[in-house]
A and B are shown apart, each in its own frame.
Chain A
Amino acid sequence: MKQTQIHNEQPPRRYGMAIDVDKCTGCGSCMVACFSENNVPFKQDETDKLLSITWMRVYQLTNGKTFPHTEVAYLPRPCQHCAGQHEGHSPCVSVCPATATDYSADTGIVSQIYTRCFGCRYCMGACPYHARYFNWWDPVWPDGMEKYLSPNVSPRMRGVVEKCSFCFHRYQMARDKAYTEGGRKVQEAEYQTACAQACPAGAIVFGDLNDPSHAVNQIVKPDAHNHYKSGNPRAFRLLERLGTNTKVYYLSSREWVRRSGDNYRADEQPGMPGAAAQHG
Chain B
Amino acid sequence: MSSHDKYQSHGDSHSSAKAPDEGAYIFLFFLIGFALSMVVGWGVFPTLLYSKKHQPFDFNHKQHLQIVDNGCQSCHFFRTDGSFSGSPRLAQCVGCHNEMQGQSESEKAFFEQYVVQGREVPWLVYSRQPDCVFFSHAAHIHGAKLDCVTCHGHMAASENLKSYEQNRITGYSRDLWGRNISGLKHNSWDRMKMDDCAECHARYQVVHDSSVQTGRDACFVCHK
Chain A residues at the B interface, C-beta cutoff of 8 Å: 2, 4-7, 12, 87-88, 93, 96, 99, 102-107, 109, 111, 113-116, 152-155, 165, 168-169, 172-173, 175-183
Instruction: Determine the residue in chain A with the shortest Cβ distance to B141.
Output: A179
Task: Tell me which of B83, B142, B143, B212 contacts A173 (CB under 8 A).
Answer: B83
Chain B interface residue count, CB cutoff 8 Å, equals 30
Known A5-B205, A5-B209, A113-B223: A176·B83 in contact at CB below 8 Å: yes
Contact B132 A113 (CB under 8 A): yes
A interface secondary structure, majority: loop
Contact A176 B219 (CB under 8 A): no
Chain B residues at the A interface, C-beta cutoff of 8 Å: 78, 80-83, 130-132, 134, 136, 138-139, 142-143, 205-214, 218-221, 223-224
Q: Smallest CB–CB gap between A199 and chain B, Å? A: 24
Contact B138 A180 (CB under 8 A): yes
Instruction: Determine the residue in chain B with the shortest Cβ distance to A152.
Output: B224
A12 to B219, CA, bound (A): 17
Instruction: Determine the residue in chain B with the shortest Cβ distance to A12.
Output: B210
Cβ contacts under 8 Å, A155 to chain B: 131
Cβ contacts under 8 Å, A165 to chain B: 220
Known A154-B131, A177-B81: A99·B138 in contact at CB below 8 Å: no
Known A102-B218, A103-B212: A173·B206 in contact at CB below 8 Å: no
Cβ contacts under 8 Å, A173 to chain B: 81-83
Q: Smallest CB–CB gap between B141 and chain A, Å? A: 8
A-B contact pairs, 13 of them (CB 8 A): A88-B212, A102-B214, A102-B218, A104-B210, A104-B220, A105-B211, A106-B207, A111-B220, A114-B132, A155-B131, A165-B220, A180-B78, A180-B142
Instruction: Determine the residue in chain A with the shortest Cβ distance to B132.
Output: A154
A165 to B134, CA, bound (A): 14
Cβ contacts under 8 Å, A107 to chain B: 210, 218, 220
Cβ contacts under 8 Å, A6 to chain B: 206-207, 210
A116 to B211, CA, bound (A): 15
Contact A99 B214 (CB under 8 A): yes
Contact A104 B211 (CB under 8 A): yes
Cβ contacts under 8 Å, B130 to chain A: 115
Instruction: Determine the residue in chain A with the shortest Cβ distance to B142.
Output: A179
Task: Tell me which of B81, B208, B213 contacts A176 (CB under 8 A).
Answer: B81
A2 to B132, CA, bound (A): 26
Cβ contacts under 8 Å, B143 to chain A: 179, 183
Contact A99 B213 (CB under 8 A): yes
